[in-house]
């Protein structure tokens, strides 16, 4: 619905649908766009505009009146019924929540030798989505399974093609390949897509989505190893464009582009998941193609600063100490420093990087920003990041279900943008 409101009530997340000035007299190319930051509001006020028009179907209303009845009718669980509460000083991404009535591995004991081997080996492997491997097809690379700290082979490639069997694919744990075999894995996926294109079948679109998703993951893995690669940053643009096109073509459905992490956390997988979720939210908020690209690449690189965090902290298989957590928090500013040195990185795309841990209450980091001080795409990425962290397992805690994770976010809604959360819930329910 189109509404006329005083300029004093204009806030981030509203959709501007016209002002009482000629567009020639303003610095904006159009007078129809979603408000993303305070600078846009300040420019409108500088013009002396007293009233503007908003479209409440494409953005926020002044009081959330249009969503409050639906929000009240959405039945969520209480946080205390889902998890064991941990100290409030920790952030959700650092895994503060342990699922109630479930056996945790927090007490597992690892020797220093175990940990040393684990940290040395981890970067030599790539986690892949088990659902991309199809029984009866042929691979020409070794396949591994990871459980806790142990990575062991399922089948070794010795220059003879391997037929995937049900026994191989039924193993519990995260499937891995050697990082040197990444290109063979992508070739396998493309070949499966080619065969399905010839023969038809319901799996075709899912496989096409898998190629986009897994290619993006492998790209992020390489970028975390070489964050100053201008070429890899350019490739991120193509990945994001593919993600945007796929979500829009599939009717805003994001599920086929998400990797479900049932066993452990991988920064490169999390990065792609957050980008997919953020782009999905952006589409549902009515962002245009250029804005979706900015959001997509910023959210895909939101954790790039973690490449500077020591492995023994980033991949620690037990809970972090307060000191280790303070080191992890440095990834935000480290990421900003890395990306502003790339001349071809869009300047506005830095907001997801530096603001995805900010909270509307001012209790986030690194700058303790409050409410309208947080950019729209920072708010979007913050919700996507928290949700994916909650639905991802770690060696010492189980993943929460989507509904449980949304319930926790709802119970802490004062930290997040309520309208974006509402759009997020509606998107996931499609």
| pLDDT at residue 14, as a whole number | 82
| pLDDT at residue 148, as a whole number | 76
Alpha-carbon distance 269 to 277, whole Å?
12
Instruction: Tell me 229's DSSP state.
Output: -
Q: Calculate the average pLDDT of the chain.
A: 84
Q: Select from 264, 217, 302, 269 the least CA-distant residue to 95.
A: 264
Q: Does CATH number 3.90.1010.10 belong to domain 79-122+226-428?
A: no
CA angle 300, 303, 308 (to 5 degrees): 135
First CA to last CA distance, the chain: 23
| 101 or 208, greater pLDDT | 208
pLDDT of 335 above 90: yes
pLDDT one-digit tens code per residue, 87-131: 555 565 554 566 766 555 544 567 777 787 788 788 899 999 988
| pLDDT at residue 353, as a whole number | 96
- Tell me whether the omega of the peptide bond preceding residue 390 falls within 30 degrees of 0, making it cis: no
| pLDDT at residue 351, as a whole number | 95
Alpha-carbon distance 329 to 266, whole Å?
17
Cα–chain-centroid distance for residue 200? 32
Alpha-carbon distance 250 to 220, whole Å?
24
pLDDT of 276 above 80: yes
Which residues lie below 8 Å from residue 362, measured CB to CB, with a gap of 6+? 368, 369, 370
| H, E, C per residue of 177-209 | EEHHHHHHHHHHHHHHHHHHHHHCCCCHHHHHH
pLDDT one-digit tens code per residue, 232-242: 888 888 999 99
| pLDDT at residue 107, as a whole number | 43
| pLDDT at residue 64, as a whole number | 58
What sign does the CA torsion over 374, 244, 429, 128 have?
negative
Q: Of all residues in the chain, what percent are helix, strand and coil, respectively (each to 5)?
A: 50, 10, 35
| pLDDT at residue 103, as a whole number | 57
What is each CA distance from 86 to 77, 91, 134, 139, 149, in whole angstroms?
Answer: 18, 10, 40, 44, 25
pLDDT of 333 above 50: yes
What is each CA distance from 129 to 33, 173, 222, in whole angstroms?
Answer: 38, 11, 17
| pLDDT at residue 40, as a whole number | 84
| pLDDT at residue 102, as a whole number | 59
Place of tokens 């042929």: 138
| H, E, C per residue of 60-110 | CCCCCCCCHHHHHHCCCCCHHHHEECCCCCCCHHHCCCEECCCCCCCCCCC
* pTM of the complete model: 0.85
Question: What are the φ/ψ torsions at residue 253 (nearest 5 degrees)?
Answer: -85, 125
pLDDT one-digit tens code per residue, 280-300: 999 988 888 889 999 999 999
| pLDDT at residue 95, as a whole number | 47
Over its C-alpha atoms, the chain yields an Rg (Å, rounded) of 22
């Amino acid at each position: 619905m189109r509404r006329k409101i005083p300029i004093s009530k204009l806030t981030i997340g509203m959709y501007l649908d016209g002002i009482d000035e000629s567009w020639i007299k303003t610095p904006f190319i159009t007078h129809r766009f979603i408000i993303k930051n305070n600078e846009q509001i300040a420019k409108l006020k500088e013009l002396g505009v007293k009233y503007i028009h908003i479209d409440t179907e494409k953005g926020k209303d002044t009081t959330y009146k249009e969503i409050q009845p639906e929000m009240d009718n959405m039945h969520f669980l209480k946080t205390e019924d889902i998890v064991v509460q941990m100290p409030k000083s920790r952030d959700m991404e650092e895994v503060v929540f342990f699922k109630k009535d479930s056996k945790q591995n927090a007490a597992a004991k690892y020797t220093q030798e175990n940990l040393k081997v684990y940290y040395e080996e981890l970067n030599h492997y790539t986690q892949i989505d088990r659902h991309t491997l199809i029984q009866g097809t042929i691979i020409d690379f070794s396949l591994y399974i990871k459980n806790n700290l142990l990575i062991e082979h399922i089948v070794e490639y010795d220059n003879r093609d391997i037929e995937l069997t049900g026994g191989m694919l039924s193993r519990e744990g995260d499937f891995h390949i050697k990082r040197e075999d990444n290109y063979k894995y992508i070739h396998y996926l493309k070949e499966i897509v080619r065969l399905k294109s010839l023969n038809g079948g319901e799996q075709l679109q899912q496989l096409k989505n898998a190629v986009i998703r897994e290619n993006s993951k492998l790209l992020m893995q390489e970028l975390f190893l070489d964050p100053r690669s201008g070429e890899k940053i350019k490739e991120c643009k193509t990945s994001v464009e593919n993600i945007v096109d796929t979500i829009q073509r599939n009717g805003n459905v994001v599920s086929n582009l998400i990797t479900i992490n049932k066993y452990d956390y991988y920064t490169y997988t999390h990065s792609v998941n957050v980008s997919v979720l953020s782009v999905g939210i952006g589409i549902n908020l009515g962002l245009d193609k250029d804005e979706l690209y900015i959001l997509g690449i910023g959210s895909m690189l939101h954790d790039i600063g973690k490449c500077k965090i020591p492995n023994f902290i980033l991949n620690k298989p037990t809970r972090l100490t307060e000191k280790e957590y303070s080191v992890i928090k440095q990834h935000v500013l480290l990421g900003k420093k890395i990306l502003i040195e790339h001349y071809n990185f869009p300047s506005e795309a830095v907001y997801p990087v530096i603001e995805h841990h900010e909270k509307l209450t001012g209790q986030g980091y690194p700058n303790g920003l409050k409410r309208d001080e947080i950019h729209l795409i920072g708010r979007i990425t913050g919700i996507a990041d928290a949700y994916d962290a909650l639905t991802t397992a770690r060696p010492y805690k189980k993943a929460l279900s989507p509904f449980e994770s949304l319930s926790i976010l709802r119970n802490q809604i004062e930290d997040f943008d309520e309208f974006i959360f509402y759009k997020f819930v509606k998107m996931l329910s499609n």
